[in-house]
A = this chain, B = another copy of it.
């Protein structure tokens, strides 16, 4: 930890010259207190000191007290390397995140980190952007035996990857993804889209377009399946035929959605509403609509999914998903698994429509059987 490599004595990490004296002194004098110091000071053996600090049994209350007191006074903290080596446990959990720079992932990590750290774990961040990164991660991490568990954030993993982790005894959990093969917590994608679709249907829309998102390099695309399914089901339930021309697919992203929207605007008969698979995509669609000289929601209603923090600022109607909560639940799920409990391995958190001002009743070119929403929030 204390690092004075250079023999010439001029390189004490990044510390300015004026501090050098101070540093040398600190190095020589303090040298992190260890268990031995605590034991000596408390007048017990190493073994007893260790037990007093860790295990619940086998130490006289008075002894435990005394040791604890000394440890506190000396600001003793066990060397994690040493105790990990000795116990064979790491108390470290890896987070595998494809796009840490996107709100969704950051929020998820936020929730995960909070719970995992509270439980005494270290949280290692692995950003795996592209397929190679994923590959490298799954090939090396388990072998490194650095972690007790890994939580993958919205990344479907292959069977091979999963098996590799399992074989090494690494517990795996998915946050925000969903996959029957390992425990997860997510939203019900189909239900979310169904809610969005039903909101539009309730407003009297019939020509509803949807901008569907897929991952460019994912092996599976559950979200697409799930979300798209919700749309078709809701339309069918309402007895509305889906015009396949109004179903466009693109990769995640606002710009991509903006381009997809151009396609939708070049259809013979324009849609009166469009449902995007994320708020970001909804904003992209809105830009195209706006640039085409059309208005939202007067000419075309737009609804997204997420309730991104900025959605509120641009008055975007959307389906809210609790992202941070998904992270927290996933963390709890993982901890339960690590404890050897048997928690619910398939948790879905509810979503709900948040009505703002990018959706409006369809104009009277279609019959409008349902009443328009009233501006309040609904389930």
The range of chain A's interface size is: 35 or more
For residue A202, give the distance in angstroms from its CB to the closest CB of chain B. 25
For residue A344, give the distance in angstroms from its CB to the closest CB of chain B. 12
A1-32: CB near B (< 8 Å → 1, else 0) gives 11111100001111100010011001100101
Decide if A314 touches B314 in the complex (CB within 8 Å): yes
Decide if B125 touches A113 in the complex (CB within 8 Å): yes
A residues 232-250 touching B (CB-CB < 8 Å): none
Q: For residue A166, which residue of chain B has the nearest CB?
A: B15
A residues 166-220 touching B (CB-CB < 8 Å): 166-173, 182-183
Choose from B19, B124, B146, B148 the contact partner of A3 (Cβ within 8 Å).
B148
Decide if A125 touches B127 in the complex (CB within 8 Å): no
Q: Say yes or no: is A309 at the interface (Cβ < 8 Å to chain B).
A: yes
Decide if A313 touches B287 in the complex (CB within 8 Å): yes
Q: Which of A41-49, A59-67, A81-89, A358-366 contacts B (4 or more CB under 8 A)?
A: A81-89
Interfacial residues, chain A to chain B (CB-CB below 8 A):
1-6, 11-15, 19, 22-23, 26-27, 30, 32, 75, 77, 79-82, 84-85, 88-90, 95, 100-103, 105-107, 109-110, 113-114, 117, 122-127, 140, 143-146, 148, 166-173, 182-183, 254-255, 258, 280, 283-284, 286-287, 290, 308-310, 312-315, 324, 337-338, 340, 345
7 sample A-B contacts, Cβ–Cβ < 8 Å, listed by A number: A19-B166, A77-B144, A100-B100, A106-B106, A109-B127, A280-B309, A283-B313
